[in-house]
A and B are shown apart, each in its own frame.
Chain A
């Protein structure tokens, strides 16, 4: 019963490096989301997708890119890592709008 799986769990990057955070779900959910969580700030939506081939910006999309080629996968790309992107990143999925979101356990990313 995997649900939403995120890899890696931890990563340290140098400024200017790039990386992809992986997210996959096995619940056949159409909707997928990427959030970042910073202390005292709650969860901020970076990007979301309502189905394969469809993505849209959330509240804080700058510095990130996404793609959705399959229902299961929704990777998040950081092209030029900056210290401001140090955060915990959560991927979530839901069957449709207005339905509960299921979260992965997060990727803890530090950029030095």
Chain B
């Protein structure tokens, strides 16, 4: 059973466009929602994270939007660049638990 559902599986965006990746969860105990970026041959690296007390968090070109009532959160990459081409994972962790639950990943390709 996939605790965090991520879509789309793959995404192709033109340079300068907006990339949007969506995640949904069911467990209301989740209270920490990070996004990771992974390049080929490397481990995932934390990109940006949010807690449910805010609806949006922005860091540079990357923004997380969080909808607590819908139990959904999304990553927006503004002005997408070829260097953003990577696999992106959303994840969730419960406040009292020790485990992270990851989405299945989105392969983003930004074409020049």
Listed in ascending order, the chain A residues whose CB lies under 8 Å from chain B are 4, 31, 33, 35, 40-45, 48, 50, 56, 58, 90, 92, 97-106
Determine whether the beta carbon of A103 is less than 8 Å from that of B98.
no
Asked if B69 lies at the interface with its beta carbon under 8 angstroms from chain A, I say no
Task: Check if A50 sits within 8 Å of B98, measured CB to CB.
Answer: yes
17 inter-chain pairs at a CB distance below 8 angstroms, sorted by A residue, are: A35-B102, A40-B105, A42-B6, A42-B104, A44-B102, A45-B99, A48-B98, A58-B99, A90-B44, A97-B98, A98-B32, A100-B49, A102-B46, A103-B43, A103-B45, A104-B43, A106-B42
| Inter-chain contacts of A106 with B (CB < 8 A) | 41-43
Residues in B neighbouring A42, C-beta threshold 8 A: 6, 89, 102-105
Q: A92's closest neighbor in chain B, by CB?
A: B43
Are A97 and B104 interface neighbours, CB within 8 A?
no
- How far, in angstroms, from A40 to B102 measured CA to CA in the complex? 12
Shortest distance in angstroms between A88's beta carbon and chain B's nearest beta carbon? 9
Q: B27 within 8 Å of A by Cβ?
A: no
Assess the B93–A98 pair: CB atoms within 8 A: yes
Per-position 1/0 for B78-100, Cβ under 8 A of A: 00000000000100010111111
Interface of B: prevailing SS:
loop
Q: How far is the CA of A103 from the CA of B37 in the complex (A)?
A: 11
Apart from A43-B89, A105-B43, what are 15 other A-B pairs with CB-CB below 8 Å? A35-B102, A42-B102, A43-B44, A45-B99, A48-B98, A90-B44, A92-B43, A97-B96, A97-B98, A98-B95, A99-B32, A101-B34, A101-B100, A102-B46, A103-B45
Please, how many angstroms separate the alpha-carbon atoms of A32 and B102 in the complex? 16
Chain A residues with CB under 8 Å of B43's CB are 4, 90, 92, 103-106
Asked if B31 is an interface residue, CB under 8 A from chain A, the answer is yes
- Which chain B residues border A48 with CB–CB below 8 Å? 98-99
